[in-house]
Structure 1
Amino acid sequence: MTLENARERRVRTGGVELCVAELGEAGQPTVVLVHGYPDSKEVWAQVAARLADRFHVVLYDVRGHGRSTAPRPLRGGFTLEKLTDDFLAVVDAVSPDRPVHLVGHDWGSVQAWEFATVARTEGRIASFTSMSGPSLDHFGHWINTRLRRPTPRRVGQLLGQGAKSWYVYALHTPVLPELAWRGPLGKAWPRVLERFERVPGDGYPTSSLPTDAAHGAWLYRDNVRARLRRPRPDAYAHAPVQLITPLGDAFLSERLYDNLEQWVPQLTRRTLPARHWIPRSRPDQLAAWIGEFVTANESGRTVTAPSGKYADRFGGQLVLVTGAGSGIGRATAYAFAESGARVIAVDRDAEGAARTAEMSRLLGAPDAWAETVDVSDEQAMEKLADKVATAYGVVDVLVNNAGIGLSGSFFDTTPEDWKKVLDVNLWGVIHGCRLFGRQMAERGQGGHIVNTASAAAYQPSKALPAYSTSKAAVLMLSECLRAELAGQGIGVSAICPGFVNTNITSTARFAGVDGEEEKRRQKRTARLYGLRNYPPEKVADAILRAVVRDEAVVPVTPEARGAHLMSRFTPRALRAIARLEPPL
């Protein structure tokens, strides 16, 4: 993705000319995105496009990168002081009367920490979002603390970060980095990003990469050793900071941000399961977090962290739940919302889906949307998948929960009954896995699929041949998909509730009886499940736990767990139970 629709201007400062791109309306709050090494401003293209409908988005090529000119000579031309001059020149040009919201990644974050902590930028920065790049001053103090008071843990942290920082040593060697980037490394870099970082190969990096990387080596040479040896003692942030830490970062340890609160009075922490290049691999999630942080600071509100049990795991992730208009689906949507996830509530009942989305926002979801669809309709599901990818992004967690109940003997169950149950309970799951699972796989950043099966999947019953068959198929499909997708970092879990107090009992069909008798049985079944009174919220908690732990098969209720054990160790006893007449 490029910045073809951006407005460009040139800003002259300190003997260089900076290429500045702008999107969105100038009257909106200004968000300045600063790229890292060996990137150019195009690394932010997907994030910028998602922010431009709400904000005035500004990107610029750091001196010596992209379409900005390089200082002459290179040595001494990339100091943090000169980079701060560049930043002030840009913000004076694009937002002379209002402070800007600063966002940095990698070396863009390293220099942005300088902007957010030096006195001469005070009042020009409204907020700062940092990702994958520490303050060199904070880093220097972090090292000195561990050298002055070494413990086995602290020494291990130093050695661990030292190993991750191998490239820093390489970039300090003379001439060799430039030769490598202008030669084989520059040519191989796009494939390296695709293979190891799983970022999409859609025209990025740009053709300026070899020159950018060669020039950018001076970012390290001009700053790293000097600042780590003599870190500033007054490097306190004068604006609210949002720290986004990718847990799979190959270059930076999570421990590097320990005790950051002493330097940042107003700190909001976020983590996400991703690798280093998150502007490319997680643009939807970053845009959601940046937008939320900017909006909160514009209105003077304090950003409150999600209160859910798994907020560190699901904060900002995109979760789609089918059958979310009631019961287990609604409870699951709420549980993800409380953990800070963005929620898409899908149901064929438009009103029910809308209520779930509305309450999800109140419970803590940064965003929540309602979509109306019948999961058994293949074309409707295809349209939904296209819309979700375009409007909201690639789903991180898919919960195929929609289902219907059907009771009755095999010979009382008509072909039409079979088709309806299989269309919703099985084909609805197949459609979800095929469409949204493919998007996860193509993105290459992992994810998780949850399929709601049932204890009936492994507990046979003479009264539930169609329902049990559909759920047994879902269970086996989940096991097969789990094997197929394991190598792509996509987990698959089958959730098997037992008797849960939801409205599926009052809407279940009973084959072979007239309408009056069917209503009587629905009421009786609903009453029995009500007496059991196992809440759907416990199933929702099991679903979130299954994703966190990457569990394969999860029986939820005590009777579901008992039947699962019997299916493995005493199947004959389970078959005997299947012959019993159900209560009518």
Structure 2
Amino acid sequence: MKVRSGEVDLAVQVRGTSGPTVVLVHGYPDTHAVWNRVAALLEGDFRVVTYDVRGAGASTAPSTQDGYRLGRLAADLFAVIDAVSPGEPVHLVGHDWGSIQSWEAVTTPGARIATFTSISGPCLDHMGHWSRGGLSLAHLRQFVRSWYIGAFHVPVLAPLFWRLYLARRWGDVLRRLEGVRTEPAPTIASDAVNGLSLYRANIRPVMRSPRQRRAPMPVQVVQPTRDRYIRTEPLDLERWVPSLRRRRIAAGHWAPLTHPEQLARMISEFVEDATPPRRLVVITGGGSGIGRATAVAFAATGARVVVSDVDFAAAEETAGMVDGHAYEVDVRSEEAVRAWARRVADEHGVPDVVVNNAGIGHSGSFLSTSAEQWRRVLDVNLWGVVHGCRAFGELMVERGEGGHIVNLSSAAAYLPSKILSAYATSKAAVFMLSDCLRAELAPHAIGVSAICPGVVNTNITATTTFSGVSAEEERRKQDRASRLYARRGFGPERVAAEIVRAVRRNRPVVPVTVEAKAARIAGRVAPGLLRTFAKLDLG
């Protein structure tokens, strides 16, 4: 069907006959066809509307560059909404420039838009305000990513390059950039040249004088983690959007082409329930200490919390503190952890954050530590982390929406001691595992952090075992360590705060406490000093 908007005719396509109306707006230099696979997945449950924006595909082009200003583009969208859904609000989805122009519409008072999903396209006004916030590494990175904007402003050469070279090779370019095989529209050359006016008519004017643009409806911002051109994480969108949901997808810029199933699911979930979901956090060893404090800290952010512990009564107590759920799990058993992960996924969903916290302490020289004691320490401190990373990591990768894994290492991972052979080895292994896993899972938008506490006042001191001593001497050492740690005065809640911050900032390594940070620095600049320290008798 054709819809008239000002001086242009817009080519509109409607799929499906029932359900809420979802309008999909394409970007540059695409046509409505970029949405074909997503639309096909949605049309069984929704009435799906796509259209070629002005100057693209089967729609006509305005006669001047001013015809591409954001206000005109928003008017086009409103004309389409009036034609396909008179009197009823629609659910809007935009990609790239389709998202940029949709932001103009959703921030216009009185817009009949129920929800908005933005993919790889920010509000230019929001970008303008952010750019005035001072120079940072994030600003420099975005400037580098946006190199093409300057190129598109070059007169004569930019349109000539599109017509004579790039338009004929656009399919090959997408294959190299995104790994997807697609045939460009027959109108790609003229569409691309017309679309240059999107940049020329809007970028400089809006960025120079950004307006106050607020979106009153629920907004879902989907950030492809491999997007080469735009990042929305640094933007203070919460300032402009009261009901905001941020999501990530392990995809490049053209996610509608490469990941239609994941996008269709995100759109469907958001249309059906636009209430921003509470993040799901899973914590092992959550019955006490750092695990309990971490549960409380995440619950304070509004997250749903699931904890496990070998002491089920302690796990239940933690769950009662945070309105969460408790399970009895022995992390030494791969079968038990896998069964628990499946149960969590079935009963609560795939977690967004997993904290592998369960651990035990052990002290004693290498020669006095038995093979059985070594196995006990490694089974909990290392294999427990391996089992948790594997069981929940597989679920996160399969879901395809990113996540974060936190592994509790220790300052002992890089601070050698002649009385901590087994414990330090287990924590050093967790430290390296976290770095390796971070590299492996990065393409799936899953972050990994190694948390390295120093002396923290938890009950681990009361349960730490000691090699080569009598039961009476072990109790004496436990009591002495507990008193020393209590005098230190560094509580588990401070470690928990660092864990929450590490997830938010996607930090790879987080030393916690002064001694942990000092040892981290010393290990880089004066490792010999640490080796000397390791020889001291601290038992």
Cα offset, 1:192, TM superposition: 0.8
Query: Residue 460 in 1 paired to residue 455 in 2?
Result: no
Bigger mean CA offset, 418-427 vs 104-113: 104-113
Partner Cα separation in structure 1 for residue 495 and residue 51 of structure 2: 50
Residue identity opposite 1:400 in structure 2: N
Q: How does 1:229-248 map to 2 (within 5 A)?
A: 239-240=216-217, 242=219, 244=221
* Secondary structure at 1:102 match in 2: strand
For residue 113 of structure 1, what is the aligned residue in structure 2? 103
Looking at structure 1, the residues matched to 201 and 477 of structure 2 have their Cα atoms a distance apart, in angstroms, of 79
- 8 Å CA contact retained: 2:305, 2:325: yes
Specify which of 318, 323, 327 is matched with residue 289 of structure 2: 327
What is the match of residue 331 of structure 2?
A: 375
Structure 1 distance, partners of 2:234, 2:377, is 53
| Residues 126 and 239, structure 1, Cα contact 8 Å, conserved in 2 | no
Call closer, same or farther: CA 1:256–1:344 in 2, change over 3 Å.
closer
SS of the residue 2:536 aligns to:
helix
The match for 2:50 among 61, 78, 81 is 61
1:18 aligns with 2:13: yes
Task: Quote how far apart the aligned CAs of 1:250 are.
Answer: 4.6
Task: Please state how far the C-alpha of 1:225 moved relative to its aligned partner.
Answer: 5.4
Tell me: CA distance 1:268–1:549, structure 2 relative to 1, closer, same or farther (3 Å).
closer
**Structure 1 position 102, deviation (Å):** 3.3
Give the TM-score normalised by the residue count of structure 1.
Answer: 0.61
**How big is the shift at 1:427?**
1.4
2: CA distance between counterparts of 1:216 and 1:556?
54
Which residue identity is paired with 1:185? W
Aligned with 2:79 (options 82, 85, 97): 85
Deviation at 1:431, TM superposition (A): 3.3
How many Å separate the matches in 1 of 2:280 and 2:216? Answer: 28
Secondary structure at the aligned position of 1:133 is classed as coil
Return the alpha-carbon distance in structure 1 between the equivalents of residues 343 and 186 of structure 2: 39
Measure the CA separation in 1 of the matches of 2:443 and 2:142: 32
Q: Per-residue displacement from partner, 1:416-463 (whole Å, max 9, x unpaired)? A: 43322211111122334556667889999998654322344434244x
1:192 lines up with 2:192 in the alignment:
no
How is 1:31-70 mapped onto 2 (pairs within 5 angstroms)? Answer: 34-37=25-28, 38=30, 40-41=34-35, 59-63=48-52
Is the contact made by 2:310 and 2:329 (CA closer than 8 Å) also made in structure 1?
yes
Q: Percent identity?
A: 41
Give yes or no for contact 2:458–2:492 (8 Å, CA) kept in 1.
yes
CA contact (8 A) 1:284 1:392 kept: no
* Structure 1, unaligned runs of 5 or more: 1-10, 195-203, 297-302, 304-315, 363-367
Question: CA 1:339–1:509 in structure 2 vs 1: closer, same or farther (change >3 Å)?
Answer: same
Q: State the match for 2:513 in structure 1.
A: 557
Counterpart CA distance in 2 for 1:179 and 1:352 is 70
How do residues 375-524 of structure 1 correspond to structure 2 at under 5 angstroms?
375-382=331-338, 399-407=355-363, 414-433=370-389, 450-457=406-413, 458-462=415-419, 464-478=420-434, 494-509=450-465
Q: Is 1:220 aligned with 2:220?
A: no
Letter of the 1:430 counterpart: V
Aligned residue for 1:294, secondary structure, equals coil
Alignment of 1:535-546 (within 5 A): 535-544=491-500
Q: Give 1:88's aligned amino acid.
A: D
CA distance in structure 1 between the partners assigned to 2:427 and 2:233 by the alignment = 44
Deviation at 1:358, TM superposition (A): 7.4
State the alpha-carbon separation in 2 of the partners of residues 518 and 233 from structure 1.
67
Please say if 1:165 is aligned against 2:160.
Answer: no
SS in 2 for 1:577: coil
Which of 107, 112, 130 aligns to 1:124? It is 112
Question: Is the alpha carbon distance of 1:175 and 1:349 closer, same or farther for their aligned partners in structure 2, counting shifts above 3 Å?
Answer: farther
- 1:91 to 1:525, Cα distance in 2 relative to 1, 3 A: farther
Structure 1 Cα separation of the partners of residues 336 and 486 of structure 2? 34
| TM-fit CA distance, 1:500 | 1.8
Displacement after TM superposition at 1:235 (Å): 9.7
Counterparts of 1:370 and 1:112, CA distance in 2: 43
1:223 to 1:440, Cα distance in 2 relative to 1, 3 A: same
Secondary structure at 1:40's aligned position in 2? helix
Q: Secondary structure at the match of 2:385?
A: helix
Deviation at 1:82, TM superposition (A): 3.9
Give the alignment of 1:146-161 within 5 angstroms: none
Structure 2 CA distance for partners of 1:184 and 1:492, relative to 1, 3 Å: same
* Partner AA of 1:331 in structure 2: A
Give the distance between the partners of 1:256 and 1:334, measured in 2 at CA. Answer: 27
Structure 1 residue 531 displacement after superposition: 4.1
- For 1:228-267, what per-residue CA distance to the aligned partner results, in whole angstroms no more than 9, with x for missing partners? 7999999966744648485986545879989997xx6968
Which letter does structure 1 place at the counterpart of 2:13?
L
RMSD, aligned CA: 6.1
After superposition, what is the alpha-carbon deviation per residue over 1:61-97, rounded to whole angstroms, capped at 9, x for unaligned? 33489xxx964657789973444322333434xxx65
Hey, what does 2:7 align to over in structure 1?
A: none
TM-score (norm 2): 0.65
